[in-house]
Structure 1
Amino acid sequence: MSTPPSASLRGFLDAHFASPDDLAAAPALAELLRRECAELDASLRRLEAQLRIAAASWLARSTGARSDLRHIRPTGGAVDAEDEGAETVRKLGLPALVREIQRIDTIRLYAEATLQLEALVGNLEDVVFSIVRQASKLNLPSILRKSNEAELKHAKLLNAVNAVRDIERELVRVSTSRPKWTSLVMAVDSRVEKTLAILRPQALTDYRALLAALGWPPSLSSQDTENDKYSQIPNPLVLMNEENKEKYSQSFLALCALQHVQANREVRPCQIAAATPALADSKYFDKTACLENGLWAIDELVHPVASRMEYHFAKWSEQPEFIFTLVYKITKDFMDGVDDILQPLIDHARLAGLSAKESWVTGMVKMLVGYLERQIFPALVTSNQDQTTDAKPEVESSWMHLNDLMISFDKRMQLLADSGIQKIASLSEGLSRSLSVFSIYIEHPDWLQIWAGVELSSAQDKLKSEMEDETSWSCSDSQHDQLGHMENSIKFLLSTREDYKAPPVSEFVVKTALSMIERGRALPNRGMQIHYNRSSAVKFLNDFFLVLCDRCEAMQLSNTALEDQSLSKASCAINAARYCENVLREWDEDTAFLDMGPQGSLFTDEISFLVKLGANYLEQILSAILLEFEDLSWEYVQNIGSWRGQTAVEDQILDEENAGVSLGFIASLDVLTDRITKLKQYLNSKDFLDLWRSIAEGLDYFIYSSIRWGEVNFSDTGVIQLRVDTKALLHIFRPFCSRPEAFFPFLSESLRLLTMKKSDAHYLLEMLTDDTRSNSCLKHQGLHNVNAGQAVKILRSRKFGG
């Protein structure tokens, strides 16, 4: 009784002889089998020959090693005369012998690894060859027909995927344990890549044929003429019966598996470089590689839809908003079907963290980016680069309109994508790059530069129009003017433009720059955002800051005749600089701006410029006021201590309450009061606080240093007059401080010395002549600013009556 044929043989015969008509192909099949057997026999003979050569080489080296080992003697053993040379060889050549044995073992391991990989790669090549040979027998009607050939081909595709996985595991083992065997790894990779280059197109072709048989893509021209809007487009994936759904599921999973092993091959260098067992078996790299390029199975859903959509796109080249609307509508219409049908398949494929909705949205976005890159942007770039065109403002407007549409489209598509499963947080950056239409600028940085230039040009035109209106530079604020001096001076927590008394144009500049920055946040990576911001918003701010500098330079604040208009305009420019500085510092503290510059700040240079600008022109205002005061009070100051009529009769009653301010001092006090009042009105409270204190300190030093101490003689009347004049000076600053004397230390301490009793003055003068106790005496009297020499001169300038 004969043995029945095996199951595999029966399956093979059933696949090739399904009907009597297939018997005609028997001679061709027999010839094909003979050729395959001949090739396999030849391959086997080659392997046997290689094995014999390797074995002979190993035996030859083993015999030599065995001969050398016979000459090894135990330590202290007798050595025959004929073995004396061998003993020397033993002592000198034993390390080399060990190295030789290790090299032989390495060769053996290399041969074993080579044979193992040869068998695995050969298995892969055989399976792929079988798939390609069988592909010509399947046609479109047979795709959905239940046939053993289709099932067999699907099984062969899975076998090929498993073969690639086996090869990858062996390559990881070889690369980890023998990192120097790079030639072997490269040779295997080369053969596998050539095989996959044949397998992938075939797998995609079969998948496309299946989609076409299912009726994909559907017609997009299902317009509801009554309502003048598009109705819901039927989704063939949802309308599949159970049998077709099973076929599609198998094809989808097989294609995902093929992409998965391809991704593993791409990230294998990263796994090897990690050099840790945890990372060597990690799926983290695998999923990242898959997600960056999208799923092939979903991309193949997008391509035929895109070809039909582009027919409509061609009619809307001048109305891109229709293009974005159509893409969004098609994406949304198929969203639920994609999620219901494909998400369970993705979960079954164990692609953790991958959303079918997000992959579908990503594919549609990539499709739109490709169309914009081919058809829309080149025309805009050409028109923008044409310097002779009169329609350049219209081109710039079109560019900005297109980017506005892209920003809005990105937000809407992101909402669609985020409605899927929860994404892995570590992968969100890569996903956002794929989901952004602005990824078009990654491959075209020159287009990004053009966009930044368009934004800058538009902002500059708006700023020019704004600056031509003088009311934009007005710093007057009735609310602030109505506040009392003391109430307004204590407000130092400034935040708004009104707090800084900055002109409206500064707020316009800040809002315009922020608008540009907000638009740039749509760019998919930080490097592009930095480049865009520096070429648009930062440059726009710098241009305005130079305008502030020019306005201050044109005022000539150093003139002794300080005009009220110059003071007002300079104060406005300083307020604008301070307000902009505060805004830039707030932006730098925002997480959205972190690490955008080399020192962690995008506006480091700009803030430094504003700080320097404000400080420089505050110094100029200070210098102008002090020079003006000095010019008006010079004659008075030179005559302090030698006023006419100081020598009074002994019985004259000194009445300080009724004494008036010196006539030569009144004009300078009036002008100083006017300047301080105007600065209080024009300047922001923080800078005004610093400025009036600096003015007070400057006046104190000027008046004190101008008195010829030691040369003049202060009588009782002279001291009273100096006290009256000093009180008048302090009265100007009293609204801003309860003790303005603290900011006039030299005048205050000079008056304290001049008003001492005669006995106290003589005693202190004697004490100051003793160098060892001079400093302690001054501190005991509460004098901390004048030194001993200055105190002596002041005391000697006092003339006591009688």
Structure 2
Amino acid sequence: MSPPRPQPASASLRGFLDAHFTSAEDLAAAPALAELLRRECAGLEASLGRLEAQLASASASWQTRSGEARSGLRRIRSRGLDVAVKDEGEGTAPGVELPAIVREIQRIDTIRLYAEATLQLEALVGNLEDATFSIVRQASKINLSAVLRRASDGVEKQEKLLRAVDAVRDIERELVRISTSRPQWTNLIVAVDSRVDKTLAILRPQALTDYRGLLAALGWPPSLSSPDMEKDKYSQVPNPLVLMNEANKEKYSESFLALCALQHVQANREVRQCQMPAAAPSLSDLKYFDKTACFDNGLWAIDELVHPIVSRMEYHFSKWSEQPEFIFALVYKITKDFMDGVDDILQPLIDQARLVGLSAKESWVTGMVKMLLGYLETQVFPTLFTSYHSTVDKLEAHSSWLHLNDQMITFDKRMQLLADSGIQKIALISEGLSRSLSVFSIYSGHSDWLQIWADIELNSAQHKLKSEMEDEASWLYRTDPQDELGHQKSAAKFLLSTREDYKAPPVSEFVVKTASTMIERSHALPSKGMKIQFTRSTSIQFLNDFFVVLHERCQALQLSNTALEDESLLIASYAINAARYCEYVLWEWDEDTAFMEMGAHEKYGNANNEQIHKRSAQHQCSFFADEIAFLVKLGTNFLEQIMSSILIEFEDLSWDYVQNIGSSNEQNHSDDEFLDEENTEVSPGFVASLDVLRERTTKLKLYLNSKDFLDLWRSMAEGLDYFIYSSIRWGEVKFSGPGVIQLRVDTKALLRIFRPYCSRPEAFFPFVTDSLKLLTMRETDAQYFLEALKNGKDNDNCLRLHGLHHVDASQAVKVLRSKMTLA
């Protein structure tokens, strides 16, 4: 077997040997080199051993920590329920157990606080229930007719009622604290509210019963008539509240204050309940966020003054079913007769009860209005509704409904005056009180009744408008005969504000006044939504119907190549004036605060409204945006059609003339230019068109309002300028000196038509004016100017230096080439 073949040395080894053994003499140092190499290898092996030991120690430490972490995670997942249980052989982890211990302590403390709060609320609710049941038991033993004779019993009952009110107040204070600091204790709050509500459902009727008994003992309600009325002498009905002696007045005051205190704590409860996160939708209505808003429907103590009067008044109401004005008159009389007594006796008590912002007069008026609303809702309106749908005589049903609403508007205003004669209302609650005082709140729950009223108002207005429109004189504006004959020159007015300024026919003023009347009637409605519904169904619909009629009358304008008829021009002009006047009125109405609020309500309050109109940066909530846009389009479109018709008529009459401008048969004169221009007459082919244009312009000045006429004649002038300039075959025809003079004479005749309306009408004929400047240039100047334009250097500046601001270089070259001298 052959010995193993030696492996070839690596490059690094060969390099090492070559470095240490360069010659044969270096072999003697081989033993020393070998010893050095052995020592270095031993040191390296020792270092490797130390590193292996450190790795083993770090691995063991990591495994220990991993086990501790795993154990800690298991304990965290168990939510600390087995803190005391530990696995044998596992190390403790105090840093992981401490949070669980803290949470457990907090849970125990929360249970303790919950139990304390429950016990405290239980005691407070128990006090309330004890006081309530004590009042009920005592009431069953007392003869209500002897309330005044047994003063001690009455005083004791008032004290118990006040203790019950104090108990409710304490409960509310605790519930507010809990809902603020512990909002998660909802079940506890709901449970307490349930028990308190049940108790108050017993306490309030009993308190009202005792209050009614006291009123009856005082002689309330009084008789609705006085002895003097039987002798046809008017006098106020005697008020028992004013006639009370001091002892009875003190008893009544205590009872009134106790009832107000009970209503006040009830109001606090409603405010707190609506602010709870889990409040019912009915309680989360915005009106409950204001404590005083809970009194919008009146004070219980004053409502109880009204209720006994109802039965006596309804006896009279039943006799006046066909005469609602008597019903409203009686309610107003009774309200007014007792107003002073109510204010003198009850207002100090309301102030003493600290019901800030509430007025005894307003509460008294509110109670009387509520009483009337109940009767109207159950007895009057259902009869009208049935009559409206079943009767054959619609006119009678409409008349009855309108008469009733007229009486309601008058009654509302009179009652509002009575209410406003009390203390000043706080701004935050004035809207709510006004809403309660309105008898038109009957429509809040009956939108079908409101729509019937709107339909009746619209039908009545449309019937009146139809009669007005049948008279053709209503469509004509009476002009000054002197203006028509031209004997009197009046300055044009451009700040138009009246129907006369707009030259609008009388029918437009009738429409505006009728729509305004319906809008004023809508102001009686108590809410913006109802106002919008009524206004959209009445005045807006009425205006839109009239605007359609205006559009139809404008369409009478004959837009053909034949001559315009004066009658159709007059009809269309006055219809445009009526549209402009109505547009102005709508802009004025849009500036009113009420319409700005209704426009904002439609935009932001109605989530289903997709049509949001914007007028400008200041008027993004226009209420009449659609109607104004329609009128603007109507006026603009038909003014453009009038202008187009006049231009077409002018073009037809002057076509042969403009085609022959500059032809040789018109240039056979060689007289001096100035003499020719002074004595030359207008071209015969141009006279007829100028006469018709003058007649049309004069008529339009007489018919149209000054603003539209200004825009119209300026647009006409620009159209005529373009027509004449573009009709001349520049560069093909050759103008001689007399031809240029003839063109200047004809142009001056055209400008003379517009001179009464402007001192420099040539400014509105820029192309014809620039062309005449070029044609009348001296021959040397024209030749030099033509060469300059052909070079094409700074043409714009060159044109401006010669006073030419509208024609460009190419157009100027064509005009200059039309001069016969430059041919």
Offset, 1:656: 0.7
Counterpart in the other structure of 2:49: none
Of 699-708 and 213-222, deviating more is: 213-222
Indicate how the Cα distance of structure 1 residues 100 and 131 shifts in structure 2: closer, same or farther if over 3 A, else same: same
Partner of 2:405: 403
| 1:85 matched to 2:87 | no
Q: Is the 8 A contact 1:646 1:717 kept in 2?
A: yes
Matches within 5 A, 1:584-595: 584-595=586-597
Q: Among 622, 632, 644, which residue is 1:611 paired with?
A: 632
Cα displacement (A) at 1:648: 4.3
How far the C-alpha of 1:484 sits from its partner, in A, is 5.8
Q: What pairs with 1:399-438 in structure 2 (closer than 5 Å)?
A: 399-438=401-440
Give yes or no for contact 2:556–2:571 (8 Å, CA) kept in 1: no
2:263 alignment counterpart:
259
Instruction: Find the aligned partners of 1:650 and 1:253 in 2 and give their Cα distance.
Output: 113
TM-superposed deviation, 1:272: 5.9
Identify the match of residue 691 of structure 1 among 703, 712, 717.
712
Q: Which amino acid aligns with 2:774?
A: L
Counterpart mapping for 1:115-134 below 5 A: 115-134=119-138
Q: 1:455 and 1:668, CA in 2 relative to 1: closer, same or farther beyond 3 A?
A: same
Aligned pair partner of 1:463 in 443, 462, 465? 465
Describe the SS at the equivalent of 1:710.
coil
Deviations 1:35-88 (A, max 9, x none): xxxxxxxxxxxxxxxxxxxxxxxxxxxxx99995999xxxxxxxxxx9863514
CA–CA separation in structure 2 for the residues paired with 1:147 and 1:683: 86
Do structure 1's residue 330 and structure 2's residue 334 form an aligned pair?
yes
The equivalent residue for 1:655 is 676
Matches within 5 A, 1:223-262: 224=228, 228=232, 230-262=234-266
Report the counterpart of residue 295 of structure 2 in structure 1. Answer: 291
Equivalent residue in structure 2 for 1:621, among 642, 656, 662: 642
| Residue number among 505, 511, 514 corresponding to 1:512 in the alignment | 514
- Structure 2 CA distance, aligned partners of 1:397 and 1:685? 43
Q: Is the 8 A contact 1:475 1:503 kept in 2?
A: yes
* 2:171 match: 167
1:531 shift after superposition:
1.1
- The separation in 2 between residues aligned to 1:218 and 1:550, in whole angstroms, is 65
2:779 aligns with 758
Where do residues 752-791 of structure 1 align in structure 2 (5 Å cutoff)? 752-791=773-812
The change in CA–CA distance for 1:294 and 1:622 in structure 2 (over 3 A counts) is same
Q: Are 2:729 and 1:708 equivalent residues in the alignment?
A: yes
Q: Is the 8 A contact 1:223 1:230 kept in 2?
A: no
CA distance in 1, matches of 2:632, 2:822: 55
CA distance change for structure 1 residues 653 and 752 in 2, over 3 Å: closer, same or farther? Answer: closer
Q: 1:212 aligns with which of 186, 191, 216?
A: 216
The corresponding residue for 1:449 is 451
Write out aligned runs for 1:6-17 (5 A). none
How far apart, CA to CA, are the structure 2 residues paired with 1:645 and 1:225? 103
Q: Which amino acid aligns with 1:663?
A: P
In the alignment, residue 642 of structure 1 is paired with which amino acid? S
* Aligned partner of 1:199 among 200, 203, 207: 203
Does the aligned pair in 1 maintain the 2:681–2:745 contact within 8 Å? Answer: yes
User: 1:493 Cα shift?
Assistant: 1.2
Contact 1:489-1:689 at 8 Å conserved across structures: no
Residues 483/490 of structure 1: CA separation in 2 closer, same or farther (3 Å cut): farther
Q: CA deviation at 1:107?
A: 1.6
TM-superposed CA distance for 1:375, in Å, is 0.7
Q: Distance in 2 between matches of 1:789 and 1:486?
A: 47
- The Cα of 1:118 is off from its aligned counterpart by 1.1
Q: Provide closer, same or farther for how the CA distance between residues 522 and 485 of structure 1 changes in structure 2, counting only shifts above 3 A.
A: farther
For residues 15-34 of structure 1, what are the structure 2 equivalents within 5 Å? none
Give me the identity figure in percent. Answer: 73
- Distance, in Å, in 2 between the alignment partners of 1:128 and 1:621 is 85
Q: Provide Cα deviations, 1:405-431, integer angstroms capped at 9, x if missing partner.
A: 111111111111111111112110000
Q: Name the CA shift for 1:291/1:757 in 2 (closer, same or farther; >3 Å).
A: same
Q: TM-score, with normalisation over the residues of structure 1?
A: 0.86
Residue 655 of structure 1 and its aligned partner are, at CA, apart by 1.3
The corresponding residue for 1:19 is none
- Displacement of 1:553 in angstroms is 1.5
- Of 534, 542, 545 in structure 1, the residue corresponding to residue 544 of structure 2 is 542
Q: Which one-letter code corresponds to 1:310 in the other structure?
A: E
Deviation, structure 1 residue 131: 1.2
Q: Which residue identity lines up with residue 90 of structure 2 in the other structure? A: G
Name the CA distance, whole Å, in 2 between partners of 1:223 and 1:664.
98
Aligned to 1:637: 658
Code of the residue aligned with 1:85 in structure 2: it is E
CA distance, structure 1, for counterparts of residue 420 and residue 563 of structure 2: 67
Q: What's the counterpart of residue 476 of structure 1?
A: 478
| Residue pairs, 1:319-398, within 5 angstroms | 319-386=323-390, 389-398=391-400
Q: Is the 8 A contact 2:80 2:100 kept in 1?
A: no
Alpha-carbon distance in structure 1 between the residues aligned to 2:485 and 2:289? 65
Q: Sort the Cα spacing of 1:271 and 1:487 in 2 relative to 1 into closer, same or farther, 3 A.
A: farther
How far apart in 2 are the matches of 1:483 and 1:359? 68
Render the CA deviation track for 1:741-798: whole Å, top value 9, x for unaligned: 0000000000000000000001110111122321111011111110000000000010
Contact 1:552 1:569 in 2 (8 A): yes
The verdict on how the C-alpha distance between 1:485 and 1:166 changes in structure 2, with shifts beyond 3 A counting, is: farther
8 Å contact from structure 1 (residues 489, 736) kept in 2:
no
Query: Residues of 2 paired with 1:523 and 1:265: CA distance?
Result: 31
Q: In structure 2, which of residues 286, 310, 321 is the aligned counterpart of residue 317 of structure 1?
A: 321
Contact kept? 2:270, 2:288, Cα under 8 Å: no
Deviations, residues 395-450 of structure 1 (Å, cap 9, x unaligned)? 11111111111111111111111111111121100000011111111111111111
The letter for the 2-side match of 1:565 is: E
Q: Which residue of 1 aligns with 2:162?
A: 158
Q: Deviations over 1:236-264 (max 9, x none)?
A: 11111111111111111110000000010
For structure 2, the residue ranges without an aligned partner over 5 or more in a row are 1-78, 279-286, 604-619
User: How big is the shift at 1:353?
Assistant: 1.4
- 3-state SS in 1 of match to 2:676: coil
Does the CA-based 8 Å contact 2:734-2:818 persist in structure 1?
yes
Question: What whole-Å deviation, never above 9, does each CA across 1:490-518 have from its counterpart, x for those lacking one?
Answer: 31111111110000000000000000001
Change (3 A) 1:650 1:687: closer
Residues 102, 479 of structure 1: CA spacing in aligned structure 2 closer, same or farther, 3 A cutoff? farther
Contact 1:287 1:352 in 2 (8 A): no
Residue 385 of structure 1 aligns to a residue in which SS? helix
Match of 1:576 in 2: 578
Distance 1:644 1:612, change over 3 A: same
Q: Which moved more, 1:647-656 or 1:415-424?
A: 647-656
Seen in structure 2, the aligned counterparts of structure 1 residues 227 and 711 have a Cα distance that, compared at 3 Å, is farther
Secondary structure of 1:461's aligned partner: helix
Displacement of 1:729 in angstroms is 0.2
Contact 1:486/1:736 (8 A) holds in 2: no
Question: Does the aligned pair in 1 maintain the 2:241–2:345 contact within 8 Å?
Answer: yes
Cα distance per residue 1:502-547 (max 9 Å; x no partner)? 0000000000000000111011122211111011001000000000
Count the aligned residue pairs. Answer: 718
Partner of 1:36: none
Indicate the SS of the match to 2:597: coil
Matched, 1:94 2:98: yes
Q: How far 1:307 sits from its partner (Å)?
A: 1.2
